[in-house]
Amino acid sequence: MLNKPDESSGDRQKSSHAPFTMYPSSFSKSAFSQTQSVQDDIHSLFHKVSRDVVFLEEVLRSTIAVDSFVKNLFEIYKATLGNEFAQKVEIGIYRSDYMLQKSPGEPAVFLPKQIEINTMAASFFGIGTNKVKRLQQYNLRNAGISFDNLNMPENGALGGIARVMVEGWKKYGNPEALFVFMINKSETNIYDQRAIEYAMYEYDPAVKVRRKVFDNCISTTRTDQDGKLFIDDEEVAVVYFRTCYMPDQFPTNKHWEVRKLIELSSAIKSPSIAHQLVGSKKIQQVLAKPGVLEKFIKDEDAVKRLRGTFADLYSLDMNAAGDAAVKLAIEKPEGFVLKPQREGGGNNLYDSEMVEQLTEIGGDERRCAYILMEKIIPPVQKNYIIYDHACSMANTVSELGIFGAFLTNGDEVTDSHTVGHLLRSKSDKHKDGGVAAGVAVLDSPILI
């Protein structure tokens, strides 16, 4: 990864290795297969939800009233309805994240609990998957530990997602049009993105990948009378967003106008605004309410499988249930996490910070910007964390991500695949997570 730019020195930006654990971590084999088994269900569920404007409007109303970022996204979503140049194809690249929770009773088993589902800009399938497994096998070998009998699952995330990305690009129907990676000005995760680009070329050398910095596209993006999208005067088939998920990535109104222009164009989006919206924590909370899954999924087994992965989630809407949730969190802060509708790590509130925030806003509608979630306490194991060339022993906890990729065509989900996984671990001293946020490190599982 590139180091964060040191603006004071003026030196060329240096890179360092992405942080990782020296050895793989053990992870429950049955929980691992349970998380794999629900990924396709998640793709079809989220696609259905993304097309249900009445449902989205209803459940996001209270959030929209106090969160201008979600409000802006929703306004663009509404503008796409009935859009004459509408693109029927979308490319979904999802990562569902889980932590293990010990079941009550004996013998105890570890069950996977969904932390969140990332419907956009999910990262580290480039450098964080098979490469980390190989690195850890190398470390085991050097330590004189045989890994022949260790169950370290194969990881097809990079190849599998690259394939779906290229197949999506082909659906646009113009082999001259670009596949654009829309990125941040000060992107540090450049090697992850390069690995994806190379995997796409490996699958099909005809694809034309370009990286564009969103800020620079503000004055160079346009559409023609047929709704075709052009950036720097080149026609664009696909816009793959590795930016546009945080408020500070939209410093001006012009940024929102350009995001809207892209959405209303005939280019394929990954994700569309609709899929970005269904990835919000508010939707996660509403889907966990009794009866809501059944509205979208007819297969009872699928409903059961999915619900089995849900933690307890609480709405903070302005009603008696919301009042009760505020009270619960203030009385027992160690049992909960307070989450705003943000991405990228470092945004959640815990313990005294959560109590302070809820004490201040818990009585008015500002609380609707958040949801409350049961805190998961995963099992701890010892490992070495290698961070910026320094090695230290830590008590670690892990979070498993399952990568899925799919295409859509109108109401249909096509080409849906569960392609691989990402294990991230962190010292149990940290409450929040995220590799890019400088907390979690790359890891890979040994299934036991």
- Which entry of 118, 266, 425, 427 is annotated as an active-site residue? 118
Judge contact between 362 and 330, C-beta under 8 A: yes
| 170 has catalytic annotation | no
Nearer to ligand ADP, 87 or 96 (CB): 96
Subset of 80-139 contacting ligand ADP (CB under 6 A): 97, 99, 115-116
For residue 351, the one-letter residue type is D
Pick from Mg ion, ligand ADP, none: which does 163 bind, CB < 5 to 8 A by kind? Answer: none
State yes or no: is 84 an active-site residue.
Answer: no
What sign does the dihedral 255-261-266-270 (CA atoms) show? positive
Q: Of the candidates 156, 168, 434, 445, which one interacts with ligand ADP according to CB under 6 A? A: 434
Per the CB < 8 A criterion, the answer to whether 94 and 404 are in contact is yes
The interface region with Mg ion, picked from 42-50, 82-90, 118-126, 237-245 by CB under 5 A, is 118-126
- For ligand ADP, the binding residues in 370-399 under the rule CB under 6 A are 373-376, 399
C-alpha separations of 422 from 24, 27, 195, 366 in Å:
12, 12, 15, 35
Termini Cα distance of the chain: 31
Question: Which among 163, 343, 420, 444 is annotated as catalytic?
Answer: 343
> Is 234 one of the catalytic residues?
no
Residue 35 half-sphere exposure, CB side, CA atoms within 13 Å? 30
Which secondary structure element, helix H or strand E, spans residue 156, and what is its range? none
Residue in 28, 398, 424, 434 annotated catalytic = 424
Binding-site residues for substrate sit at 95, 193, 424
Q: Rounded to an integer, what distance in angstroms lies between the CA atom of residue 294 and that of residue 287?
A: 10
Which residues participate in the annotated binding site for ATP?
A: 116, 281, 339-348, 350, 373-376, 399, 426, 432
Q: Contact 169/268 with Cβ under 8 angstroms?
A: yes
> Choosing from 281, 416, 425, 433, which is the catalytic residue?
281
Taking CB under 5 A as the binding criterion, the range among 113-121, 123-131, 172-180, 243-251 that sits at the site for Mg ion is 113-121
Name every residue whose Cβ is closer than 8 Å to that of residue 364 and which is 6 or more positions away in sequence.
none
Assess 67 for contact with ligand ADP (CB under 6 A): no
- In this structure, what are the phi and psi dihedrals at residue 68, rounded to the nearest 5 degrees? -70, -25
Our answer to whether residue 291 is catalytic in this structure is no
Instruction: Judge whether 259 counts as a catalytic residue.
Output: no
95 catalytically annotated = yes
CA distance 396 to 186: 30
The pair of structure tokens assigned to 255 is: 């940024």
> Is 420 or 434 the residue whose CB approaches ligand ADP more closely?
434
- Taking CB under 6 A as the rule, does residue 442 contact ligand ADP? no
C-alpha radius of gyration, the chain, whole number? 22
Q: Residues marked as binding for Mg(2+)?
A: 116, 118, 343
Annotated catalytic residue 424: yes
Known catalytic residue: 90? no
CA 424 to chain centre: 13
HSE (CB half, 13 Å, CA atoms) of 278? Answer: 22
Q: Considering the rule CB under 6 A, would residue 438 count as an interface residue with ligand ADP?
A: no
Q: Which of the ranges 43-51, 104-112, 117-125, 413-421 carries the binding residues for Mg ion, by CB under 5 A? A: 117-125
Question: What x-and-dash track marks residues 310-349 binding ligand ADP by CB under 6 A?
Answer: -x-------------------------x-x--xxxx-xx-
> Which SS3 state, helix, strand or coil, does residue 394 take?
strand
Contacting positions for ligand ADP (CB under 6 A): 97, 99, 115-116, 311, 337, 339, 342-345, 347-348, 373-376, 399, 432-434
Active site residues: 95, 116, 118, 123, 281, 339, 343-344, 424
